[in-house]
Amino acid sequence: MKHYYNPMSRAVTTDWMLKELDVQHEQIIIDFDSGENDFPEFRKINPMGKVPVLVDNEKVITEVAAICAYLADRFPAKRLAPEIESPDRATYYRYLFFAGNTIEPALSLAVSGIEHPEPRSAGWGDMLRVLTAIEAMTPETGWALGKQFTAVDVVFGGLLDSSMAFNMIDASPKVANYVTRIRQRPAYRETHAAFQDISG
Ligand SMILES: N[C@@H](CCC(=O)N[C@@H](CS)C(=O)NCC(=O)O)C(=O)O
């Protein structure tokens, strides 16, 4: 399994997922400064020229949430996904897609000081709605699906963590406490050395 990675990128989240699962992999560092993500051989693997990328059995997987969900299903004994028949699967998918489809674009626009002119047609609505949904979806205790830590906490929790570290959100006490629990996980700590300087 090959993991295309850069230590100051979203690939830290997939690296954390690999560490949670204790999966052996080849770590291939993509150096943005020398434009390695624009090299034709990398663009052939991911035409977006972005990391993370996971290659497993010659199959390419891109997008943080897709990689984490794939890995959770690939190593079911580690129980980082609810079983396929479990009713929790509904909530699981909801969080996985909410992170990339809704939180990410809303935050990207907000930090650039841009407001979408038509929140009703923008899939993410607006920042107020997104923050209200984050507050409602953040668990008071434990993890997003309850007692079981899952890939959702890596994806959704990881995004809240980096959003706080880069001052993109003003976290409520509930969100801050959840992120504190995230930051205490040994696999998180092992994979977020560069971020710990930022987040403290
Ligand atoms: N939607 C993608 C976003 C990936 C992404 O934006 N990666 C950034 C680093 S955090 C990147 O590779 N940027 C290099 C570029 O766009 O040139 C995902 O979830 O994986």
* Fold type of domain 88-199: Glutathione S-transferase Yfyf (Class Pi); Chain A, domain 2 (1.20.1050)
The answer to whether residue 194 scores a pLDDT higher than 80 is no
Q: What is the pLDDT of residue 10?
A: 97
The answer to whether residue 46 scores a pLDDT higher than 60 is yes
Average pLDDT of the chain?
96
Residues within 6 Å of ligand 1 by CB = 9-10, 32, 37, 49-52, 63-64, 100
Task: Fill in the amino acid letter for 4.
Answer: Y
The answer to whether residue 77 scores a pLDDT higher than 70 is yes
Which residue among 37, 50, 195 has the greatest number of ligand 1 atoms within 8 angstroms of its CB, and so is best to mutate?
50
Q: Ligand 1 center to residue 143 CA distance, Å?
A: 26
Q: What is the pLDDT of residue 198?
A: 63
The answer to whether residue 60 scores a pLDDT higher than 60 is yes
**195, two tokens:** 């971020």
What is 25-59 written as a DSSP string? -EEEE--TTTTGGGSHHHHHH-TT--S-EEEETTE
Round to whole Å and give the CA distance between 34 and 16: 25
Give the number of other CB atoms < 10 A from CB of residue 190: 12
- In 3D space, the residue among 73, 91, 199, 198 whose CA is nearest the CA of residue 153 turns out to be 91
Listed by start position, the domains of the chain span 2-78, 88-199
Q: Ligand 1 center to residue 152 CA distance, Å?
A: 19
Helix intervals (H) in 101-166: 104-111, 127-137, 151-152, 158-165
Furthest C-alpha separation in the chain: 46
Which residue among 8, 10, 30, 39 has the greatest number of ligand 1 atoms within 8 angstroms of its CB, and so is best to mutate?
10
The answer to whether residue 71 scores a pLDDT higher than 80 is yes
Give the number of other CB atoms < 10 A from CB of residue 133: 16
The answer to whether residue 106 scores a pLDDT higher than 60 is yes
Where does 2-78 sit in CATH, by number? Answer: 3.40.30.10
User: Per residue in 10-36, pLDDT tens?
Assistant: 999 999 999 999 999 999 999 999 999
The answer to whether residue 186 scores a pLDDT higher than 80 is yes
Contacts of 179 (CB under 8 A, 6+ apart): 157, 160, 161, 164, 171
